[in-house]
Structure 1
């Protein structure tokens, strides 16, 4: 242990922060309680710098640690620690003792910092997670709109894929504008839908009792959905601009993976960044994301094979990519999904998790080695075609 080190432990709460500065031989140099307002944080930073603090550690308490981190990150080396790994010693019950324990663990190098990306990636994370929150709001309001329509006897959602379909939207706009005649509404439904279910069925589905209040509710809910769509578009445009400005090569490279386009590539960069030094191996990144199956075995019996906790935002986008990749023909993931689900009769949902894990491993290697995605399945097909061509040439030579 370096005898010249001066470290600090911070116990962060919603309305207060407890600071403990500790020097070599575990000597407490300074202890104090601070508020959480910006002037208080700046005063705390000044006090730490004056006492020669070079390293500080804090627990990842909700979002309360973020402004503390932003104030201190330029003045000293920081570590964000998972509270799970900070075990309290017997008798250490007060908050000041908590800060002292964090400082003591840091002084003895007993704790490892969590992954905190650089500021530009943090801004991208804000946009990415805002998009995901807006998508949840979109789903909620779409369901509310369809429920309101169903209460009026409107059942077209039973015969179309989604309420975002063109047929549903055309009929909805017509009803909002005051057109409620079933014969007029059925003309707006796509011909394939009418032919599949029958004109009489579709006519009955769009027949309803729409009061003036119902139409007002339809209009207001539709306006909320339109607002959410505009906000998603603005956030995604800003996120794409940041990727193209700061990480253009990695942004292009990620889109070589089957199933990964603009939205998925920007989400991956926003959640992981492009520097994989924090993750020593691909397995570390998989575990951090929460796609690694838990090792819960007792007496030869598996108690659970569920995936572990991790970055839910990255895991969600990877599962979506996996579904697209498993449906993309002539690629490794499509072939893998077919063999596992159709030939070996395994659970389709579990296979999607496996594909998501493989995609994340590929992302780690691509960003670490600065290489584009190489599809093994296509590579084998190309090698097989070359061998067949060589055999044909050899056969024609023998005949001659």
Structure 2
């Protein structure tokens, strides 16, 4: 143990911060309670530096740790610790001595810090996670708009695949402007839908009893949906521009994966960063994301093989990519999905999780080795084509 080592433990709450500074003999040399306002954080930093603190650790309490981290990260080495792992360590722990316990665990090297990206990637995360929140709001308000139309007897959503489709939205805009005649509304429906279900059925579906209150509410929902869509586009453009500015090579390289376009590539970079050094192996990245199955076996019986908890934002975008990749013709992932689901009759949802895991492993290797995606299935097809050409050439020589 370093003789000059001085560490600090921080117990961060919404309104207070408990600080405990310890030396290498495990003696408490300073302990104090602070507020959480910006001047208080500056005071915490200055007093920790004055006591010679070089290392500090804190629990990841909601979002309250973020301003504390930003105030201290340039002055000392910091570790952000999952509270679950702190609780698993042996020893007594109370609310009063949380900070002392964290400092003691840090001094004995019993805790390992979580992955915290740099400020650029953190800003990208803000845009990316805002997009997820806005998409949830968009789905919620679209469903509320459809429910308002259903109360009026407007049943077009029973016959179209999406409520944000062109035909559906044209009808909504027409109703908002006061056009409620079924003969006029049915003209806005795509011909494919009319041919599939029949003009009379669609006409009955768009026939409704619309009052002024209903039209007013539909107008409000339409305006709110428009604002959400505009904000999604703004966040998406800002995120893509940051990727092109700070990580142009990695951003372009990730788009060589089947199913990955600008939105997916920007989300992957925003959640993981372009540097894979925090993840020693691909399995570490997979476990951090939450795509690694549990190994819960007792007495040769599998109790659970469900995936673990992890970064839900990265996991969600990878699952979306896996659905696209499994439908991309002549690629490894579509061939894997076909073999596992059709020939071996495995659960399709579980196969999508397996594909997402393979995608994340490929991302780790691509960003670590600075290589584009190599599709082994296409390589195999190319070799088979070469063998067939050589065989045909050999047969022609033997016949000649």
**TM bucket normalised to smaller:** over 0.9
Instruction: After TM superposition, give the deviation of residue 298 of structure 1 in Å.
Output: 1.7
Equivalent residue, structure 2, for 1:83: 83
TM-aligned CA deviation for residue 297 of structure 1: 1.4
| Deviation of the 1:92 alpha carbon | 3.4
Partner of 1:65: 65
Relative distance call for 1:91 and 1:396 in structure 2 (3 A) is: closer
Report the Cα offset of residue 360 of structure 1. Answer: 0.4
Instruction: State the alpha-carbon separation in 2 of the partners of residues 24 and 293 from structure 1.
Output: 40
| SS state at 2:292 partner | coil
C-alpha separation between the residues in 1 aligned to 2:165 and 2:105?
A: 57
2:93 aligns with 92
How far the C-alpha of 1:91 sits from its partner, in A, is 4.5
In structure 1, distance between residues paired with 2:92 and 2:314 = 39
Q: Secondary structure at the match of 2:25?
A: helix
Q: Which residue of 2 aligns with 1:7?
A: 7
* TM-score (structure 1 length as normaliser): 0.98
2:12 and 2:129 map into 1 onto residues whose CA distance is 24
Deviation at residue 392 of structure 1 after TM alignment:
1.7
1: CA distance, partners of 2:132 / 2:229: 12
CA distance in 2, matches of 1:127, 1:83: 26
Cα deviation, residue 302, structure 1: 1.6
Q: TM-score, normalised by structure 2?
A: 0.98
Change (3 A) 1:308 1:129: same
Match of 2:103 in 1: 103
Q: Secondary structure at the match of 2:98?
A: helix
Partner of 1:207: 207
* Structure 1 gaps, min length 5: none
* Count, aligned residues: 399
- Aligned pairs for 1:384-395 (under 5 A) are 384-395=384-395
Where does residue 134 of structure 1 map in the other structure?
134
SS of the aligned residue for 2:302 comes to strand
* 1:110-160 Cα distance to aligned partner (Å, 9 max, x none): 110000001000000000000000000000000000000000000000001
Asked if 1:25 corresponds to 2:38, the answer is: no
Tell me what 1:294 maps to: 294
Q: Which residue does the alignment assign to 1:257?
A: 257
1:146 partnered with 2:152: no
SS of equivalent to 2:40: helix
Q: Give 1:303's aligned residue.
A: 303
CA displacement 1:155-205 (0-9 Å, x = unmatched):
000001101111101111111111011011101100010010001100000
**1:388 deviation in Å?**
1.1
Runs of 4+ in 1 over 6 A off after TM superposition: none
Q: Could you tell me how far apart the structure 2 residues matched to 1:214 and 1:28 are? A: 67
- 1: distance between equivalents of 2:169 and 2:397? 65
Q: State the alpha-carbon separation in 2 of the partners of residues 27 and 304 from structure 1.
A: 44
Q: Return the offset for 1:94.
A: 3.7
Q: Which residue of 2 aligns with 1:165?
A: 165
User: For residues 232 and 221 of structure 2, what CA distance do their matches in structure 1 show?
Assistant: 17
Instruction: Determine helix, strand or coil for the equivalent of 2:15.
Output: coil
Tell me the CA shift for residue 262 of structure 1.
0.8
Cα RMSD, aligned residues only: 0.9
